[in-house]
Amino acid sequence: MLVVIDTNVLLVSISKKSKYHWLYQLIISNKIQIAFTNDTLSEYEEQIGFHWHHDVATDVVRLLNELSTAYSTIIYYNLNFITADTDDNKFVDCAFAANADYIITNDSHFNILKTIDFPEIPTLSLEEFKTLLIETKIL
């Protein structure tokens, strides 16, 4: 299963004290595949550095670049589906280019994708993703 992780979800999964730390553990243990672009990595680094520390951000980005189940993706099309926060489109474009199964996000701006027939870009909240992983015995 290949997913794109929105920054808000990655951010809350880093801390060992977080109830969402299971996601970060799945990522670093190569249990799920993730796609990213230079733009999404830059956003990860910026936001993690802001909310945590620059060293943590550097470590996370380095880790993602080294994982065998993390795939750097090149964007060829800008779909521009999200108008409420156009910065979110980098995750949509990544999911489209990587042919990802899902975007994992708790951001309501991505709900617009449910109204678009083509291309279909499914989204799951973190809780919905957890349920899917339990059902498929990944978690």
Does the pLDDT of residue 94 top 90, yes or no? yes
Cis preceding-peptide flag for 122 (omega within 30 of 0): no
H/E stretch holding 33 reads strand 33-36
Q: How much is the average pLDDT of 4-14? A: 97
Q: How much is the average pLDDT of 32-38? A: 98
> Residue 139: pLDDT band by 50, 70, 90 thresholds?
confident
Integer Cα distance of 95 and 98 in angstroms: 5
The per-residue pLDDT for 88 is: 97
Q: How much is the average pLDDT of 107-127? A: 96
* Chain-centre distance for alpha carbon 23: 10
Q: How much is the average pLDDT of 29-34? A: 96
- Enter the CATH code of domain 2-135: 3.40.50.1010
Non-local (6+) Cβ contacts of 49 within 8 A are 56, 57, 58
Delimit the domains of the chain by residue range.
2-135
The per-residue pLDDT for 136 is: 94
- Mean pLDDT taken over the chain: 96
